[in-house]
A and B are shown apart, each in its own frame.
Chain A
Amino acid sequence: MKNAMKSYLVFTSRLYRLVMYMLLPGVCGGICLWACGSGGSRAGRGVLMAAALLLPMVETVSDSWLFAGVQNLSYTNLEYLKSSGRGGAVMRQALTVDVVRKLVSSAVILGLAYAIIGLWELLSGEIKEGLWAGAVEGAFGFWGAGSGTGGVLWCMVMCSFFFSMLGTFLSRYGNMIWINLMVGYGVVALEIAGQFLPGLSVHLYGYGGIFGLLGLCVGALAVRTAMARMERSYYDQRPFGRGGPGMGEEESGM
Protein backbone atom coordinates (compact mmCIF):
# COMPACT_ATOMS: atom_id res chain seq x y z
CA MET A 1 0.00 0.00 0.00
CA LYS A 2 2.84 2.33 0.90
CA ASN A 3 4.51 1.61 -2.43
CA ALA A 4 1.25 2.16 -4.29
CA MET A 5 0.81 5.53 -2.61
CA LYS A 6 4.40 6.42 -3.40
CA SER A 7 3.90 5.37 -7.04
CA TYR A 8 0.91 7.65 -7.32
CA LEU A 9 2.52 10.59 -5.57
CA VAL A 10 5.55 10.59 -7.86
CA PHE A 11 3.22 11.28 -10.77
CA THR A 12 1.92 14.38 -9.04
CA SER A 13 3.93 17.56 -8.81
CA ARG A 14 4.14 19.52 -5.57
CA LEU A 15 1.97 22.20 -7.16
CA TYR A 16 -0.68 19.63 -8.09
CA ARG A 17 -0.68 18.24 -4.56
CA LEU A 18 -1.00 21.73 -3.12
CA VAL A 19 -3.94 22.59 -5.38
CA MET A 20 -5.83 19.30 -5.27
CA TYR A 21 -5.27 18.20 -1.68
CA MET A 22 -5.14 21.52 0.16
CA LEU A 23 -6.48 24.37 -1.92
CA LEU A 24 -9.52 22.64 -3.44
CA PRO A 25 -11.07 21.30 -0.21
CA GLY A 26 -10.08 24.55 1.54
CA VAL A 27 -11.65 26.79 -1.08
CA CYS A 28 -14.77 24.61 -1.30
CA GLY A 29 -15.21 24.59 2.48
CA GLY A 30 -14.44 28.31 2.67
CA ILE A 31 -17.00 29.24 0.01
CA CYS A 32 -19.57 27.03 1.70
CA LEU A 33 -18.94 28.73 5.02
CA TRP A 34 -19.09 32.17 3.40
CA ALA A 35 -22.32 31.24 1.60
CA CYS A 36 -23.89 30.04 4.83
CA GLY A 37 -22.80 33.24 6.57
CA SER A 38 -24.15 35.54 3.91
CA GLY A 39 -27.21 33.69 2.68
CA GLY A 40 -27.96 31.07 5.31
CA SER A 41 -27.87 27.32 4.94
CA ARG A 42 -29.91 27.54 1.72
CA ALA A 43 -26.98 29.30 0.02
CA GLY A 44 -24.67 26.70 1.52
CA ARG A 45 -26.74 23.96 -0.09
CA GLY A 46 -26.33 25.69 -3.41
CA VAL A 47 -22.58 25.68 -2.99
CA LEU A 48 -22.64 21.98 -2.10
CA MET A 49 -24.64 21.18 -5.23
CA ALA A 50 -22.29 23.28 -7.34
CA ALA A 51 -19.27 21.50 -5.81
CA ALA A 52 -20.77 18.10 -6.61
CA LEU A 53 -21.40 19.17 -10.19
CA LEU A 54 -18.06 20.88 -10.75
CA LEU A 55 -15.81 18.32 -9.07
CA PRO A 56 -15.85 15.96 -12.10
CA MET A 57 -14.80 18.88 -14.27
CA VAL A 58 -11.95 19.80 -11.96
CA GLU A 59 -10.83 16.16 -11.84
CA THR A 60 -11.02 15.82 -15.62
CA VAL A 61 -9.07 19.00 -16.32
CA SER A 62 -6.45 18.39 -13.61
CA ASP A 63 -5.83 14.87 -14.96
CA SER A 64 -4.18 16.62 -17.89
CA TRP A 65 -1.19 17.20 -15.56
CA LEU A 66 -0.95 13.53 -14.67
CA PHE A 67 -1.89 11.06 -17.35
CA ALA A 68 -2.82 13.16 -20.39
CA GLY A 69 -2.88 11.05 -23.54
CA VAL A 70 -1.83 7.87 -21.78
CA GLN A 71 -4.50 5.88 -23.67
CA ASN A 72 -3.67 7.49 -26.99
CA LEU A 73 -2.13 5.22 -29.64
CA SER A 74 0.53 7.80 -30.47
CA TYR A 75 1.55 8.21 -26.85
CA THR A 76 5.31 7.80 -26.65
CA ASN A 77 6.36 9.28 -23.34
CA LEU A 78 6.86 6.09 -21.40
CA GLU A 79 10.45 5.31 -22.29
CA TYR A 80 11.89 6.17 -18.90
CA LEU A 81 9.33 3.94 -17.20
CA LYS A 82 9.95 1.19 -19.74
CA SER A 83 13.70 1.34 -19.17
CA SER A 84 13.09 0.09 -15.62
CA GLY A 85 11.91 -3.36 -14.65
CA ARG A 86 9.57 -1.72 -12.14
CA GLY A 87 8.08 0.75 -14.64
CA GLY A 88 4.96 -1.28 -15.42
CA ALA A 89 4.18 -1.95 -11.76
CA VAL A 90 4.70 1.70 -10.82
CA MET A 91 2.38 2.81 -13.62
CA ARG A 92 -0.33 0.29 -12.68
CA GLN A 93 -0.17 1.25 -9.00
CA ALA A 94 -0.31 4.96 -9.82
CA LEU A 95 -3.34 4.53 -12.07
CA THR A 96 -5.12 2.36 -9.49
CA VAL A 97 -4.47 4.73 -6.59
CA ASP A 98 -5.74 7.57 -8.77
CA VAL A 99 -9.13 5.82 -8.99
CA VAL A 100 -9.29 5.40 -5.22
CA ARG A 101 -8.08 8.97 -4.70
CA LYS A 102 -10.92 10.31 -6.84
CA LEU A 103 -13.44 8.48 -4.67
CA VAL A 104 -11.80 9.72 -1.47
CA SER A 105 -11.58 13.28 -2.82
CA SER A 106 -15.29 13.30 -3.66
CA ALA A 107 -16.14 11.98 -0.20
CA VAL A 108 -13.84 14.39 1.66
CA ILE A 109 -14.71 17.56 -0.27
CA LEU A 110 -18.46 16.99 -0.36
CA GLY A 111 -18.47 15.60 3.20
CA LEU A 112 -16.65 18.70 4.41
CA ALA A 113 -19.16 21.05 2.76
CA TYR A 114 -21.99 18.89 4.09
CA ALA A 115 -20.64 19.05 7.63
CA ILE A 116 -20.17 22.82 7.42
CA ILE A 117 -23.83 23.31 6.43
CA GLY A 118 -25.01 21.04 9.23
CA LEU A 119 -22.82 22.75 11.79
CA TRP A 120 -23.96 26.16 10.60
CA GLU A 121 -27.60 25.22 10.91
CA LEU A 122 -27.06 23.88 14.40
CA LEU A 123 -25.07 26.85 15.62
CA SER A 124 -27.32 29.44 13.99
CA GLY A 125 -30.38 27.82 15.50
CA GLU A 126 -31.94 26.94 12.14
CA ILE A 127 -32.32 23.44 13.54
CA LYS A 128 -32.65 22.54 17.16
CA GLU A 129 -31.40 18.98 17.38
CA GLY A 130 -29.74 16.16 15.51
CA LEU A 131 -26.90 17.71 13.58
CA TRP A 132 -26.84 15.31 10.67
CA ALA A 133 -30.49 14.42 10.48
CA GLY A 134 -31.64 18.00 10.76
CA ALA A 135 -29.06 19.35 8.38
CA VAL A 136 -29.79 16.84 5.70
CA GLU A 137 -33.54 16.98 5.95
CA GLY A 138 -33.35 20.75 5.88
CA ALA A 139 -30.75 20.99 3.18
CA PHE A 140 -32.18 18.43 0.81
CA GLY A 141 -35.82 18.56 1.50
CA PHE A 142 -36.34 19.41 -2.14
CA TRP A 143 -35.18 15.91 -3.02
CA GLY A 144 -38.08 14.47 -1.21
CA ALA A 145 -38.82 13.78 2.37
CA GLY A 146 -37.92 10.40 3.80
CA SER A 147 -35.04 9.84 1.44
CA GLY A 148 -32.70 9.27 4.35
CA THR A 149 -30.05 11.52 5.78
CA GLY A 150 -26.89 9.81 4.66
CA GLY A 151 -28.44 8.85 1.33
CA VAL A 152 -28.07 12.31 -0.13
CA LEU A 153 -24.38 12.57 0.65
CA TRP A 154 -23.80 8.97 -0.44
CA CYS A 155 -25.52 9.55 -3.76
CA MET A 156 -23.79 12.88 -4.38
CA VAL A 157 -20.34 11.42 -3.63
CA MET A 158 -20.87 8.37 -5.84
CA CYS A 159 -22.41 10.40 -8.64
CA SER A 160 -19.50 12.84 -8.52
CA PHE A 161 -17.00 9.94 -8.43
CA PHE A 162 -18.59 8.20 -11.41
CA PHE A 163 -18.60 11.32 -13.57
CA SER A 164 -15.05 12.19 -12.46
CA MET A 165 -13.93 8.73 -13.59
CA LEU A 166 -15.89 8.95 -16.83
CA GLY A 167 -14.40 12.35 -17.68
CA THR A 168 -10.91 11.17 -16.80
CA PHE A 169 -11.23 7.99 -18.85
CA LEU A 170 -12.50 9.79 -21.95
CA SER A 171 -10.02 12.67 -21.74
CA ARG A 172 -7.01 10.35 -21.51
CA TYR A 173 -7.40 9.59 -25.22
CA GLY A 174 -6.33 13.16 -25.90
CA ASN A 175 -3.17 14.87 -24.82
CA MET A 176 -4.16 18.53 -24.90
CA ILE A 177 -5.77 20.43 -22.08
CA TRP A 178 -8.62 21.75 -24.23
CA ILE A 179 -9.73 18.16 -24.81
CA ASN A 180 -9.93 17.67 -21.03
CA LEU A 181 -11.85 20.93 -20.78
CA MET A 182 -14.38 19.91 -23.44
CA VAL A 183 -14.81 16.46 -21.87
CA GLY A 184 -15.18 18.23 -18.50
CA TYR A 185 -18.06 20.33 -19.84
CA GLY A 186 -19.60 17.18 -21.28
CA VAL A 187 -19.55 15.24 -18.02
CA VAL A 188 -21.00 18.19 -16.11
CA ALA A 189 -23.88 18.32 -18.62
CA LEU A 190 -24.38 14.57 -18.23
CA GLU A 191 -24.31 14.88 -14.46
CA ILE A 192 -26.96 17.60 -14.54
CA ALA A 193 -29.07 15.36 -16.78
CA GLY A 194 -28.47 12.55 -14.28
CA GLN A 195 -30.30 14.52 -11.59
CA PHE A 196 -33.52 13.90 -13.49
CA LEU A 197 -33.28 10.12 -13.34
CA PRO A 198 -36.67 8.70 -12.39
CA GLY A 199 -37.06 8.07 -8.68
CA LEU A 200 -33.62 9.44 -7.79
CA SER A 201 -34.91 11.28 -4.75
CA VAL A 202 -36.54 8.11 -3.43
CA HIS A 203 -33.81 5.57 -4.24
CA LEU A 204 -30.75 7.55 -3.23
CA TYR A 205 -28.90 4.55 -1.79
CA GLY A 206 -29.70 2.41 -4.80
CA TYR A 207 -28.65 5.02 -7.31
CA GLY A 208 -25.60 5.86 -5.22
CA GLY A 209 -24.59 2.20 -5.29
CA ILE A 210 -25.07 2.01 -9.05
CA PHE A 211 -23.04 5.18 -9.60
CA GLY A 212 -20.31 3.85 -7.31
CA LEU A 213 -20.20 0.52 -9.11
CA LEU A 214 -20.13 2.21 -12.50
CA GLY A 215 -17.35 4.50 -11.26
CA LEU A 216 -15.28 1.51 -10.18
CA CYS A 217 -15.94 -0.23 -13.52
CA VAL A 218 -14.83 2.86 -15.48
CA GLY A 219 -11.81 3.14 -13.15
CA ALA A 220 -10.85 -0.48 -13.81
CA LEU A 221 -11.31 0.10 -17.53
CA ALA A 222 -9.11 3.20 -17.37
CA VAL A 223 -6.31 1.26 -15.64
CA ARG A 224 -6.65 -1.67 -18.03
CA THR A 225 -6.68 0.52 -21.15
CA ALA A 226 -3.61 2.53 -20.11
CA MET A 227 -1.69 -0.61 -19.15
CA ALA A 228 -2.64 -2.33 -22.42
CA ARG A 229 -1.40 0.76 -24.26
CA MET A 230 1.89 0.60 -22.35
CA GLU A 231 2.28 -3.11 -23.09
CA ARG A 232 1.53 -2.54 -26.79
CA SER A 233 4.21 0.14 -26.95
CA TYR A 234 6.86 -2.56 -26.49
CA TYR A 235 5.74 -4.00 -29.81
CA ASP A 236 5.08 -2.65 -33.28
CA GLN A 237 1.90 -0.71 -33.55
CA ARG A 238 -0.85 -2.07 -35.71
CA PRO A 239 -3.96 0.08 -36.18
CA PHE A 240 -6.31 -2.72 -35.15
CA GLY A 241 -3.79 -5.23 -33.88
CA ARG A 242 -3.47 -6.73 -30.46
CA GLY A 243 -0.49 -6.24 -28.17
CA GLY A 244 1.88 -8.89 -26.99
CA PRO A 245 4.50 -11.13 -28.49
CA GLY A 246 3.78 -12.37 -31.96
CA MET A 247 1.65 -9.44 -32.99
CA GLY A 248 4.42 -7.88 -35.08
CA GLU A 249 6.39 -9.51 -37.82
CA GLU A 250 8.90 -10.77 -35.28
CA GLU A 251 8.53 -12.74 -32.13
CA SER A 252 9.98 -11.59 -28.89
CA GLY A 253 13.55 -12.45 -28.41
CA MET A 254 13.36 -11.97 -24.68
Chain B
Amino acid sequence: MKEGRRNAIQVCGLKKKYRGFELSVPRLDVPEGFATALIGENGAGKTTLLNILTGIRRDFKGDVTYFGEERKLNAQTQECIGYTGPGCYFLPNWTVDQVEEISSLLFSGFHNDRFRSLCKELGIKRGLVRDVKKLSDGNRMKLMLAAALARDTQLLILDEPASPLDPLMRDKLCDMIREYLERGNGKRSVFFSTHNIADMENVTDYAVILEHGNVVEEGFVEDLKEKYICVKGEAADGERAGEILFSVSKNAYGFEGICLAENLDRLAGMDVAVETPTLSQISVAVMKANTGLKL
Protein backbone atom coordinates (compact mmCIF):
# COMPACT_ATOMS: atom_id res chain seq x y z
CA MET B 1 0.00 0.00 0.00
CA LYS B 2 2.90 2.29 0.76
CA GLU B 3 4.47 1.76 -2.65
CA GLY B 4 3.13 4.01 -5.39
CA ARG B 5 0.80 5.77 -3.02
CA ARG B 6 -0.69 9.18 -3.74
CA ASN B 7 0.02 12.13 -1.54
CA ALA B 8 -2.67 14.38 -0.17
CA ILE B 9 -0.04 17.10 0.15
CA GLN B 10 3.39 17.28 -1.40
CA VAL B 11 5.80 19.98 -0.32
CA CYS B 12 9.01 20.69 -2.23
CA GLY B 13 11.68 23.16 -1.18
CA LEU B 14 9.45 25.15 1.12
CA LYS B 15 11.19 28.04 2.83
CA LYS B 16 9.68 30.69 5.03
CA LYS B 17 11.55 33.29 7.04
CA TYR B 18 9.76 35.03 9.83
CA ARG B 19 11.28 37.26 12.52
CA GLY B 20 14.55 35.38 12.89
CA PHE B 21 12.90 32.00 12.41
CA GLU B 22 13.27 29.91 9.29
CA LEU B 23 10.98 27.10 8.27
CA SER B 24 12.79 24.90 5.80
CA VAL B 25 11.10 21.80 4.44
CA PRO B 26 13.03 20.40 1.46
CA ARG B 27 10.50 17.60 0.99
CA LEU B 28 7.36 16.52 2.81
CA ASP B 29 4.75 14.01 1.73
CA VAL B 30 1.46 13.67 3.54
CA PRO B 31 0.11 10.32 2.34
CA GLU B 32 -3.43 10.14 1.06
CA GLY B 33 -5.90 8.01 2.99
CA PHE B 34 -4.12 8.27 6.33
CA ALA B 35 -4.01 10.37 9.47
CA THR B 36 -0.70 12.19 9.70
CA ALA B 37 0.48 13.78 12.92
CA LEU B 38 2.74 16.83 12.90
CA ILE B 39 4.76 16.76 16.10
CA GLY B 40 7.19 19.31 17.43
CA GLU B 41 7.99 21.54 20.36
CA ASN B 42 6.57 25.03 20.78
CA GLY B 43 7.89 27.35 18.10
CA ALA B 44 9.01 24.49 15.86
CA GLY B 45 6.97 25.93 12.97
CA LYS B 46 3.92 23.67 13.03
CA THR B 47 1.29 26.41 12.86
CA THR B 48 3.29 28.30 10.22
CA LEU B 49 3.47 25.16 8.10
CA LEU B 50 -0.25 24.44 8.50
CA ASN B 51 -1.13 28.06 7.72
CA ILE B 52 0.86 27.83 4.50
CA LEU B 53 -0.85 24.58 3.55
CA THR B 54 -4.32 26.04 4.13
CA GLY B 55 -3.58 29.28 2.26
CA ILE B 56 -3.75 31.53 5.29
CA ARG B 57 -0.09 32.49 4.77
CA ARG B 58 1.09 33.18 1.28
CA ASP B 59 4.59 34.56 1.57
CA PHE B 60 6.87 31.59 1.18
CA LYS B 61 9.18 30.06 -1.35
CA GLY B 62 8.64 26.58 -2.65
CA ASP B 63 6.07 24.37 -4.15
CA VAL B 64 2.98 22.82 -2.58
CA THR B 65 0.68 20.52 -4.51
CA TYR B 66 -2.44 18.70 -3.40
CA PHE B 67 -4.26 15.40 -3.96
CA GLY B 68 -1.57 13.66 -5.93
CA GLU B 69 -1.92 16.03 -8.83
CA GLU B 70 -0.25 19.22 -9.88
CA ARG B 71 -3.02 21.04 -8.06
CA LYS B 72 -1.97 24.31 -6.49
CA LEU B 73 -3.83 26.02 -3.71
CA ASN B 74 -6.74 27.95 -5.16
CA ALA B 75 -10.41 28.47 -4.34
CA GLN B 76 -11.28 25.04 -5.73
CA THR B 77 -8.60 23.32 -3.66
CA GLN B 78 -9.60 25.23 -0.53
CA GLU B 79 -13.13 23.91 -1.06
CA CYS B 80 -11.72 20.40 -0.51
CA ILE B 81 -9.80 21.29 2.65
CA GLY B 82 -11.40 21.53 6.07
CA TYR B 83 -9.35 23.51 8.57
CA THR B 84 -9.49 24.17 12.28
CA GLY B 85 -7.11 26.73 13.69
CA PRO B 86 -6.08 28.38 16.92
CA GLY B 87 -8.23 30.76 19.00
CA CYS B 88 -8.51 33.64 16.53
CA TYR B 89 -10.46 31.66 13.98
CA PHE B 90 -14.02 32.95 14.00
CA LEU B 91 -15.05 36.57 14.46
CA PRO B 92 -15.62 36.76 18.24
CA ASN B 93 -19.09 38.26 17.90
CA TRP B 94 -20.43 35.49 15.71
CA THR B 95 -23.03 33.26 17.23
CA VAL B 96 -23.22 29.52 16.59
CA ASP B 97 -26.09 30.20 14.18
CA GLN B 98 -23.98 32.75 12.33
CA VAL B 99 -21.17 30.21 12.00
CA GLU B 100 -23.68 27.93 10.28
CA GLU B 101 -24.95 30.71 8.01
CA ILE B 102 -21.51 31.94 7.03
CA SER B 103 -20.20 28.41 6.46
CA SER B 104 -22.96 27.68 3.98
CA LEU B 105 -22.00 30.86 2.15
CA LEU B 106 -18.25 30.22 2.21
CA PHE B 107 -18.29 26.56 1.22
CA SER B 108 -20.55 24.96 -1.36
CA GLY B 109 -20.08 21.52 0.21
CA PHE B 110 -21.40 22.59 3.60
CA HIS B 111 -24.38 20.64 4.93
CA ASN B 112 -26.54 22.52 7.44
CA ASP B 113 -28.27 19.38 8.70
CA ARG B 114 -24.94 17.65 9.28
CA PHE B 115 -23.65 20.72 11.14
CA ARG B 116 -26.72 20.78 13.40
CA SER B 117 -26.44 17.10 14.12
CA LEU B 118 -22.70 17.45 14.89
CA CYS B 119 -23.41 20.40 17.21
CA LYS B 120 -25.94 18.26 19.04
CA GLU B 121 -23.57 15.30 19.17
CA LEU B 122 -20.72 17.44 20.51
CA GLY B 123 -22.90 19.26 23.03
CA ILE B 124 -22.65 22.74 21.49
CA LYS B 125 -25.61 24.78 22.61
CA ARG B 126 -27.21 27.08 20.08
CA GLY B 127 -29.28 30.13 20.79
CA LEU B 128 -29.96 33.76 20.09
CA VAL B 129 -26.93 35.16 21.92
CA ARG B 130 -24.40 32.37 22.16
CA ASP B 131 -21.32 34.29 21.05
CA VAL B 132 -18.25 32.37 20.00
CA LYS B 133 -16.15 34.49 22.37
CA LYS B 134 -18.23 33.25 25.29
CA LEU B 135 -17.55 29.61 24.47
CA SER B 136 -14.80 27.80 26.35
CA ASP B 137 -11.68 26.83 24.39
CA GLY B 138 -12.92 23.26 24.25
CA ASN B 139 -16.35 24.20 22.95
CA ARG B 140 -14.81 26.56 20.41
CA MET B 141 -12.69 23.69 19.11
CA LYS B 142 -15.79 21.48 18.95
CA LEU B 143 -17.54 24.18 16.95
CA MET B 144 -14.62 24.38 14.52
CA LEU B 145 -14.65 20.61 14.16
CA ALA B 146 -18.40 20.61 13.55
CA ALA B 147 -18.00 23.30 10.86
CA ALA B 148 -15.15 21.41 9.20
CA LEU B 149 -16.78 17.97 9.37
CA ALA B 150 -20.11 19.27 8.08
CA ARG B 151 -18.45 19.86 4.72
CA ASP B 152 -17.63 17.51 1.86
CA THR B 153 -13.85 17.59 2.00
CA GLN B 154 -10.95 15.40 0.99
CA LEU B 155 -8.48 16.69 3.52
CA LEU B 156 -8.71 17.91 7.09
CA ILE B 157 -5.92 20.14 8.40
CA LEU B 158 -6.29 20.47 12.16
CA ASP B 159 -4.04 22.71 14.24
CA GLU B 160 -3.79 21.33 17.77
CA PRO B 161 -7.30 19.87 17.82
CA ALA B 162 -6.71 17.82 20.97
CA SER B 163 -5.15 20.50 23.19
CA PRO B 164 -8.30 22.25 24.45
CA LEU B 165 -10.37 19.06 24.65
CA ASP B 166 -11.00 16.93 27.73
CA PRO B 167 -9.85 13.26 27.67
CA LEU B 168 -13.34 12.05 26.78
CA MET B 169 -13.56 14.43 23.84
CA ARG B 170 -10.05 13.52 22.70
CA ASP B 171 -11.22 9.94 22.48
CA LYS B 172 -14.27 11.12 20.55
CA LEU B 173 -12.00 13.19 18.28
CA CYS B 174 -9.99 10.06 17.44
CA ASP B 175 -13.22 8.24 16.61
CA MET B 176 -14.35 11.11 14.40
CA ILE B 177 -11.03 11.18 12.53
CA ARG B 178 -11.13 7.42 12.05
CA GLU B 179 -14.75 7.57 10.82
CA TYR B 180 -13.89 10.45 8.47
CA LEU B 181 -11.08 8.40 6.93
CA GLU B 182 -13.16 5.24 6.68
CA ARG B 183 -15.95 7.01 4.85
CA GLY B 184 -13.46 8.34 2.34
CA ASN B 185 -12.45 4.88 1.12
CA GLY B 186 -8.79 5.84 1.01
CA LYS B 187 -9.41 9.19 -0.66
CA ARG B 188 -9.63 11.28 2.48
CA SER B 189 -6.69 12.35 4.61
CA VAL B 190 -6.13 14.12 7.91
CA PHE B 191 -3.08 16.20 8.79
CA PHE B 192 -3.04 17.43 12.37
CA SER B 193 -0.52 18.98 14.72
CA THR B 194 -0.44 17.80 18.29
CA HIS B 195 1.39 17.92 21.59
CA ASN B 196 -0.87 15.20 22.97
CA ILE B 197 0.92 12.40 21.19
CA ALA B 198 -0.16 9.65 23.59
CA ASP B 199 -3.85 10.54 23.25
CA MET B 200 -3.70 10.77 19.47
CA GLU B 201 -1.42 7.79 18.89
CA ASN B 202 -4.21 5.31 18.23
CA VAL B 203 -5.39 7.39 15.29
CA THR B 204 -1.98 8.29 13.90
CA ASP B 205 -0.80 6.37 10.84
CA TYR B 206 2.05 8.59 9.75
CA ALA B 207 4.15 10.99 11.82
CA VAL B 208 6.22 14.04 10.92
CA ILE B 209 8.50 15.47 13.59
CA LEU B 210 9.47 19.10 13.15
CA GLU B 211 12.25 20.87 15.04
CA HIS B 212 13.42 24.45 14.52
CA GLY B 213 11.59 24.62 11.24
CA ASN B 214 13.15 21.41 9.91
CA VAL B 215 11.61 17.99 9.44
CA VAL B 216 13.88 15.76 11.53
CA GLU B 217 11.93 12.51 11.23
CA GLU B 218 8.96 11.21 9.30
CA GLY B 219 7.43 7.89 8.44
CA PHE B 220 4.63 5.45 9.07
CA VAL B 221 4.25 4.77 12.77
CA GLU B 222 4.75 1.04 12.28
CA ASP B 223 8.04 1.72 10.44
CA LEU B 224 9.20 4.15 13.11
CA LYS B 225 8.49 1.51 15.73
CA GLU B 226 10.78 -0.84 13.85
CA LYS B 227 13.42 1.84 13.33
CA TYR B 228 13.62 2.78 17.00
CA ILE B 229 13.69 0.60 20.05
CA CYS B 230 13.07 1.21 23.72
CA VAL B 231 15.86 -0.03 25.97
CA LYS B 232 15.68 -0.60 29.74
CA GLY B 233 18.60 -1.65 31.88
CA GLU B 234 20.45 -1.60 35.15
CA ALA B 235 21.64 1.71 36.61
CA ALA B 236 25.24 0.52 36.42
CA ASP B 237 25.07 0.42 32.61
CA GLY B 238 23.31 3.78 32.36
CA GLU B 239 26.35 5.89 31.57
CA ARG B 240 27.71 3.60 28.86
CA ALA B 241 24.27 3.12 27.33
CA GLY B 242 23.74 6.88 27.36
CA GLU B 243 26.38 7.24 24.66
CA ILE B 244 24.33 5.10 22.32
CA LEU B 245 20.79 6.08 23.28
CA PHE B 246 18.98 9.08 21.78
CA SER B 247 17.51 10.04 25.10
CA VAL B 248 17.97 8.45 28.42
CA SER B 249 16.22 8.88 31.74
CA LYS B 250 17.97 7.48 34.78
CA ASN B 251 16.94 6.78 38.34
CA ALA B 252 18.40 4.80 41.27
CA TYR B 253 17.13 1.51 39.89
CA GLY B 254 17.97 1.74 36.23
CA PHE B 255 17.72 3.63 32.97
CA GLU B 256 15.34 3.81 30.07
CA GLY B 257 15.96 5.24 26.65
CA ILE B 258 15.41 5.07 22.92
CA CYS B 259 17.97 4.09 20.33
CA LEU B 260 18.04 3.17 16.69
CA ALA B 261 17.32 -0.54 16.25
CA GLU B 262 20.43 -0.79 14.05
CA ASN B 263 22.55 0.28 17.05
CA LEU B 264 21.19 -2.46 19.27
CA ASP B 265 24.31 -4.60 18.84
CA ARG B 266 26.36 -1.80 20.42
CA LEU B 267 24.54 -2.56 23.65
CA ALA B 268 25.92 -6.09 23.64
CA GLY B 269 27.33 -7.11 27.00
CA MET B 270 24.89 -4.96 28.90
CA ASP B 271 21.98 -6.44 30.83
CA VAL B 272 19.18 -4.70 28.96
CA ALA B 273 15.58 -5.43 27.99
CA VAL B 274 14.15 -4.13 24.74
CA GLU B 275 10.59 -3.11 24.02
CA THR B 276 8.68 -1.59 21.15
CA PRO B 277 8.51 2.14 21.88
CA THR B 278 5.38 4.22 21.72
CA LEU B 279 5.12 7.07 19.23
CA SER B 280 5.28 9.42 22.19
CA GLN B 281 8.60 7.93 23.34
CA ILE B 282 10.04 8.10 19.83
CA SER B 283 8.91 11.68 19.39
CA VAL B 284 10.35 12.83 22.70
CA ALA B 285 13.64 11.07 21.96
CA VAL B 286 13.93 12.59 18.49
CA MET B 287 12.96 16.02 19.78
CA LYS B 288 15.45 15.79 22.64
CA ALA B 289 18.20 14.85 20.20
CA ASN B 290 17.43 17.88 18.05
CA THR B 291 16.25 20.53 20.45
CA GLY B 292 18.20 23.67 21.11
CA LEU B 293 16.86 23.73 24.65
CA LYS B 294 19.03 22.57 27.54
CA LEU B 295 16.97 19.85 29.15
Contacts and interface: CB of A to CB of B under 8 A. Distances in A.
A234 B60 CA distance: 11
A82 B94 CA distance: 16
A252 B129 contact: no
Contact of A83 (B14, B18, B58, B81): B81
B107 interface: yes
Interface string B44-81: 00000000101111111111100000001111101101
A79 B16 CA distance: 19
B89 A85 contact: no
Most B-side CB within 10 Å, residue of A12, A66, A77: A77
A251 B89 contact: no
Interface stretch (A41-49, A104-112, A156-164, A242-250): A242-250
Contacts of B107: 84, 86
Contacts of B60: 250, 252-253
B27 interface: no
A194 B63 CA distance: 57
B56 A235 contact: no
Contact of B55 (A12, A82, A250): A82
Contact of A245 (B58, B75, B88, B147): B58
B249 interface: no
Nearest to B57: A234
Interface string A223-236: 00000000000111
A65 B94 CA distance: 8
A14 interface: yes
Contacts of A64: 93
B102 A250 contact: no
Interface residues of B, number: 47
B128 interface: yes
A76 B17 contact: no
Most A-side CB within 10 Å, residue of B60, B73, B106: B106
A248 B91 CA distance: 26
A206 to B, nearest CB: 39
B83 interface: yes
Nearest to A3: B105
A contact residues, range: 35 or more
A80 B93 contact: no
B15 A250 contact: yes
Contacts of B105: 6-7, 10, 86, 90
B14 A253 contact: yes
Interface in B101-115: 101-102, 105-107
Task: Name the prevailing secondary structure of the A interface residues.
Answer: loop
A254 interface: yes
B75 A14 contact: no
Contacts of B18: 236, 248-249
Contacts of B90: 77, 80
A14 B127 CA distance: 10
B56 to A, nearest CB: 5
A10 B75 contact: no
Contacts of B16: 250
A53 B96 CA distance: 34
A250 B89 contact: no
Interface in A1-56: 6-7, 9-15
Contact of A80 (B57, B74, B89): B89
B85 interface: yes
B98 interface: yes
B26 interface: no
A254 B129 contact: no
A209 interface: no
A192 interface: no
B63 A83 contact: no
B201 interface: no
Given A68-B93, A85-B76, A85-B78, A80 B106 contact: yes
A247 B60 CA distance: 11
Contact of B59 (A14, A15, A250): A250
Interface in A171-192: none
Contacts of A234: 56-59
Contacts of B57: 234-235
B55 A254 contact: yes
B92 interface: yes
Given A84-B106, A236-B19, 10 more contacts: A6-B105, A11-B102, A12-B98, A65-B93, A77-B92, A83-B56, A245-B58, A252-B60, A253-B52, A253-B63
Interface of A: 6-7, 9-15, 64-66, 68, 76-87, 90, 234-236, 245, 247-254
21 contacts: A9-B101, A11-B98, A11-B102, A14-B97, A79-B56, A79-B88, A79-B89, A80-B89, A80-B91, A83-B55, A83-B81, A83-B83, A84-B75, A84-B79, A84-B106, A84-B107, A86-B107, A245-B59, A247-B59, A251-B59, A254-B55
